[in-house]
């Protein structure tokens, strides 16, 4: 049961799409202040608090403070209170079970018992709030109800589930061609190559550097012939420059955010001074969305949106070398120029002028929405789209990646923690920069990371300018890397199917163990094993130098060892077990009574993948597989086909 409580005059956030009845007496919380609106609840000693999507720390958010305020901070330390997206859902699971979604576009501080007195307090800084209170039988039930009111997830094409290679710094068509060549030479499957800001003419959106990519349409077509897609980046800011058509159209039609004086606001980002499109208005979104025609005309059908918190280097008011302004800024975010967001303004649909600060967390998600609605018009098939910044609701328009992590074991672990939390907030299509963005990766870390990413919908190797080369073939024994990426492709019939089913049912794909198994104390504390879809449990190795790990099975399961060639299955009892996992192998588990459809051989890319030629692993007898051509917009559960296991082996099955 979901009930909403309205405080003041909330600004429309587009997060919830269903009608939810109004309540009059808010349960569980006491409101301890009107201004700022602050709510408190007392947690039981062993209560777990789930949710909060893209935030640091574990799956249980208890013990720390978090601030919803989208920000580009490439230093993901434990102390970092906010990341690129704001996902204001919490789910309390313990003596009482309930969820609460604080739907407000500005800054929210969640103190999830950081003092140890069991108090969870939520402080919404700006007036105007819709609080959705969700009551259910358990945490999973609460989350499913929540997913039910925020609308269906973005549905990417099949190729978006392939392996992607990226790097900030691929400068030319030749360089990308070489990366492709080496993957092919080492027989490492790959589906797409991301093009970072280097492809643009002086970092200007909707342009291509003609020296580096003399004919991008031709290059795109050549890549497609080899089964590969190119995925260009698009930044939020539009370069201020006479002759830049997008800039001129935006100025003429008053499509940009304005400054204190009421003229177009200027902020420096990669191209120099830019204006920010005012995505809060439908007319602006439609105009921005139409710009993607520049790319779709060249045959491109995948995009990533960056810098849309928005990220700002400096502004027309704050010079490049100004020190962070502690007095105006936030003492908890001392190195940040939070005040910049008070210096520019949006014109909402109803004509109201509000500072970005008041509606800050919506900006990135609205850029995704603009891109997605434009691409829906431009393409008659599904496309890949993922964004850095987001708010709940944006999951209907695209995926997200978790931004500038680092090549450290801690960040690998954070990737594991992020996935279920993001799923709870609707973001099914997500993943981290595999191998790590900042800093230098190494063979062991990259291999272990691939063994995690092999199970996340977005599986992209990406790294920063100036770091060591991070493509798989750069490291000793490419066959070891081939093994892990092969696993991904062999699992695709299952992963794609489970993604589509979860999205269409408005359910989670990646879940904590406690969502499915009896919530014993032991199960509730497990954060380094995850459920992926209906049948599969992973237990990745997350420690440097480890030759394996301890796994806890909450029930008997089939243990599967992928050795690069075969799936070796063995029945395993419930309880704790020690497994050895060489760097080029993966051990995962299939739940009793369920089946896992896997491809019979490893394709070079998804264009060569036959979703109908599968082998069924596991002890179940039936599996319902989602199948389509991988592109069609006609996505319904009717595309599910029932597979039956023939007795004994996993040999061909009837439908």
Contact residues toward ligand MIG (CB under 6 A) are: 168, 196-197, 233, 306, 388, 403-404, 462
Token pair of 608 as six digits:
């060569």
Q: Which residue, 196 or 534, is less far from ligand MIG as judged by CB? A: 196
Q: Is residue 599 within 8 Å of 614, Cβ to Cβ?
A: yes
Taking the least distance from each CB to ligand MIG, the nearer of 146 and 341 is 341
Shortest CB 267 distance to ligand MIG, Å = 13
CA 168 – CA 583 distance, rounded (Å): 27
Contact 307, 236 (CB under 8 A): yes
Residue 274 and residue 280 in contact, taking contact as beta carbons nearer than 8 Å: no
SS3 357: helix
DSSP assignment of 244-310: -HHHHHHHHTT-B-EETTSSB--EEETTEEEE-B-TTSHHHHHHHHHTTHHHHTTT--EEEEESTTT
Fill in the DSSP letter of residue 513.
Answer: G
Q: Which is nearer to ligand MIG, 333 or 461 (CB)?
A: 461
254 C-beta neighbours (distance < 10 Å), count: 13
Tokens describing residue 435? 């191998």
Q: Which is nearer to ligand MIG, 267 or 595 (CB)?
A: 267
Q: Rank residues 303 and 517 by Cβ distance to ligand MIG and give the closer one.
A: 303
**Beta carbons within 8 Å of 259's beta carbon, 6+ residues apart:** 265, 266, 316, 317, 343, 344, 345
In this complex, which beta carbon is closest to ligand MIG, that of residue 407 or of residue 529?
407
Alpha carbon distance 100, 104 (integer Å) = 12
Residue 312 or residue 616: which is nearer to ligand MIG going by CB?
A: 312
Closest CB 148 distance from ligand MIG, rounded Å: 32
b/e 607-623 (16+ beta carbons within 10 angstroms → b): bebebeebbbbbbbeeb
Instruction: Give the shortest CB-516-to-ligand MIG separation in angstroms.
Output: 33
Structure tokens at 649: 């082996």
Q: How far is the CB of 286 from ligand MIG (least distance, A)?
A: 26
Nearest to 367 by CA among 383, 344, 389: 389
Query: What are 328-333's contacts with CB under 8 Å, separation 24+?
Result: 330/67, 332/65, 332/67, 332/81, 333/67, 333/69, 333/71, 333/81, 333/82
Least distance between ligand MIG and beta carbon 233 (Å): 6
Whichever of 467 and 605 has its CB closer to ligand MIG, that residue is 467
Shortest reach from residue 620's CB to ligand MIG, in Å: 40
Least CB distance to ligand MIG at residue 440 (A): 16
Q: Which is nearer to ligand MIG, 404 or 534 (CB)?
A: 404
**Residue 593, token pair as written in the block:** 């009574």
Q: How far is the CB of 528 from ligand MIG (least distance, A)?
A: 26
Please state the closest distance from residue 229 (CB atom) to ligand MIG, in A.
18
In whole angstroms, the minimum distance from the beta carbon of 594 to ligand MIG comes to 36
CA-CA distance, 162 to 605, in Å (whole number)? 7
Smallest distance from ligand MIG to CB 468, Å:
15
Of 62 and 462, nearer to ligand MIG (C-beta) is 462
Q: Kindly provide the residue ranges of all beta strands, DSSP E only, lying in 557-647, ordered along the sequence.
A: 557-562, 567-572, 575-580, 586-591, 595-599, 614-618, 622-626, 640-644
Residue 59 or 394: the one with the smaller Cβ distance to ligand MIG is 394
Paired strand residues for 583: none
């Amino acid at each position: 049961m979901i009930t909403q409580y309205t405080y003041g005059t909330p600004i429309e956030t587009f997060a919830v799409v269903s009608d939810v009845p109004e309540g009059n007496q808010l349960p569980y919380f006491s409101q301890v202040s009107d201004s700022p609106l602050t709510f408190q609840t007392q947690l039981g000693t062993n209560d777990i608090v789930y949710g909060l999507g893209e935030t640091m720390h574990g799956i249980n958010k208890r013990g720390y403070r978090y601030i919803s305020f989208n920000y580009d901070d490439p230093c993901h330390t434990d102390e970092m209170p906010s990341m690129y997206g704001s996902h204001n859902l919490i789910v309390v699971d313990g003596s009482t079970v309930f969820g609460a979604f604080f739907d407000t576009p500005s800054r929210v501080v969640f103190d999830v018992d950081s003092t140890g007195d069991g108090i969870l307090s939520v402080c919404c800084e700006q007036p105007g709030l819709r609080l959705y209170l969700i009551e259910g039988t358990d945490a999973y039930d609460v989350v499913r109800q929540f997913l039910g009111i925020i609308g269906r997830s973005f549905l990417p094409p099949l190729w978006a589930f392939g392996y992607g290679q990226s790097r900030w710094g691929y400068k030319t068509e030749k360089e990308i061609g070489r990366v492709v060549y080496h993957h092919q030479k080492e027989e490492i499957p790959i589906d797409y190559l991301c093009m970072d800001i280097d492809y643009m003419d002086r970092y200007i959106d909707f342009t291509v550097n003609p020296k580096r990519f003399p004919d991008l349409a031709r290059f795109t077509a050549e890549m497609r012939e080899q089964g590969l897609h190119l995925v260009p980046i698009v930044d939020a800011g539009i370069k201020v420059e006479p002759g830049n058509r997008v800039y001129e159209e935006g100025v003429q039609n008053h499509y940009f955010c304005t400054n204190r004086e009421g003229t177009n606001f200027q902020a420096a980002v990669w191209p120099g001074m830019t204006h920010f499109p005012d995505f809060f208005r439908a007319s602006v979104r439609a105009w921005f969305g139409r710009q993607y025609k520049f790319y779709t005309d060249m045959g491109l059908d995948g995009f990533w949106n960056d810098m849309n918190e928005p990220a700002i280097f400096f502004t027309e008011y704050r010079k490049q070398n100004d020190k962070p302004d502690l007095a105006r800024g936030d003492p908890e975010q001392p190195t940040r120029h939070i005040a910049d967001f008070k210096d520019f303004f949006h014109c909402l649909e109803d004509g109201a002028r509000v500072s970005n600060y008041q509606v800050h967390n919506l900006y990135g998600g609205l850029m995704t929405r603009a891109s997605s609605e434009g691409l829906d018009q431009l393409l008659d098939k599904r496309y890949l789209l993922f964004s850095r910044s987001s708010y709940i609701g944006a999951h209907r328009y695209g995926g997200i990646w978790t931004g500038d992590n680092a090549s450290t074991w801690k960040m690998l672990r954070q990737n594991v923690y992020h996935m279920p939390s993001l799923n709870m907030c609707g973001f099914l299509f997500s993943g981290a920069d595999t191998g790590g963005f900042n800093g230098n990766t190494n063979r062991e870390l990259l291999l272990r990371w691939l063994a995690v990413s092999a199970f996340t919908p977005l599986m992209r190797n990406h790294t920063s300018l100036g770091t060591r080369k991070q493509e798989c073939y750069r490291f000793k024994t490419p066959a070891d890397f081939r093994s892990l990426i092969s696993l991904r492709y062999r699992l695709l019939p299952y992963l794609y199917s489970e993604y589509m089913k979860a999205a269409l049912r408005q359910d989670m794909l990646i879940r904590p163990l406690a969502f499915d198994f009896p919530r014993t104390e032991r199960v509730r504390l497990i954060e380094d094993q995850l459920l992926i879809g209906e049948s599969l449990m992973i237990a990745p190795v997350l420690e440097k130098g480890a030759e394996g790990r301890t796994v806890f099975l909450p029930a008997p399961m089939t243990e599967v060892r992928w050795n690069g060639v075969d799936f070796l299955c063995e029945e395993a009892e419930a309880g704790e077990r020690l497994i050895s996992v060489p760097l080029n192998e993966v051990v995962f588990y299939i739940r009793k009574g369920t089946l896992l459809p896997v491809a019979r051989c490893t394709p070079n890319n998804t264009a060569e993948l036959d979703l109908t030629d599968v082998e069924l692993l596991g002890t179940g007898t039936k599996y319902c597989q989602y199948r389509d051509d991988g592109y069609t917009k006609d996505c319904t559960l009717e595309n599910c086909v029932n597979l039956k296991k023939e007795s004994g082996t996993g040999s061909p099955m009837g439908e």
